[in-house]
Amino acid sequence: MAYNWTRVLRSGMSGNDVRELQIRVAGYAAATASRTFIAVDGQFGAGTEGAVRRFQASYGLTADGIAGQQTHTALNNLEASNGSTSHFNWSEFHSKDGAQFSNGALSASQVQENVRRLMYKLEAMRRKLGNIPLSINSGFRSRNHNSNVGGASNSMHLYGSAADVASSATPTRMADVARTCGFSGIIRYNTFTHVDSRAETTGAGYYWP
């Protein structure tokens, strides 16, 4: 079911609907490479307004930083009926050992919420790359699966806040775009790019090699 936006949102407002707005525009955190992210704190400040403006411009809307009906509709068009997003499915992010979202660093419900937030950033990344499909090589990992693949003991995959992403774009190109999408962890590999939200999830510093 689409989110029920009940009011026009603008700078200075606060509330749960502002939090939801922040989640959905988080991938528009910056216009150029910037170590910044949109805090999901329910406070509509300058960072949120800038992200709304960039989202609106991306979708051909009036970029005034005010989230009214047209912006609400564009945001809801990104939401799938099961609560995932239009271009990503929950199953793509399930741990590959069959644990789905269980047995990680957080409860399954918390992991799933982190995955949902990750999806919206990936929707922005996908659009900025020219609407090309993104494949998720690895999403959430249970502790067992993370250990089996040699993952770091504090891997963001354990929190549902990371994805290894492949596409027709080069890993370098994906990493460059990810730097505008609010990701705080970015690692280029030969055939894919790792992105994560470590600064938001655990308060860890940025890792942009």
- Give me the pLDDT at residue 89, please: 98
Domain 90-201 has CATH 3.30.1360.200: no
- Give me the pLDDT at residue 1, please: 67
Which CATH code is given to the segment(s) 16-77? 1.10.101.10
32 Cβ contact list (under 8 Å, min separation 6): 180
Angle, alpha carbons 15-196-143 (nearest 5°): 105
34 CB burial (10 A radius; 0-12, 13-18, 19+): exposed
Q: Which residues are the active-site residues?
A: 194
Instruction: State the Cα–Cα distance between residues 105 and 155, nearest whole angstrom.
Output: 9
Q: Which two tokens stand for residue 105?
A: 């660093």
* Closest by Cα among 25, 68, 22, 71 to 44: 22
Whether the model clears a pTM of 0.95, i.e. scores above it, the answer is yes
* Domain chopping of the chain, boundaries: 16-77, 90-201
Instruction: State the Cα–Cα distance between residues 6 and 73, nearest whole angstrom.
Output: 12
Q: pLDDT tens per residue, the chain (209 residues)?
A: 689 999 999 999 999 999 999 999 999 999 999 999 999 999 999 999 999 999 999 999 999 999 999 999 999 999 999 999 999 999 999 999 999 999 999 999 999 999 999 999 999 999 999 999 999 999 999 999 999 999 999 999 999 999 999 999 999 999 999 999 999 999 999 999 999 999 999 999 999 98
Q: Which two tokens stand for residue 68?
A: 């009214």
152 Cβ contact list (under 8 Å, min separation 6): none
| DSSP-based three-state secondary structure for 113 | helix
Instruction: State the Cα–Cα distance between residues 90 and 37, nearest whole angstrom.
Output: 23
- What is the maximum alpha-carbon separation in the chain? 49
Q: Which two tokens stand for residue 175?
A: 């990493």
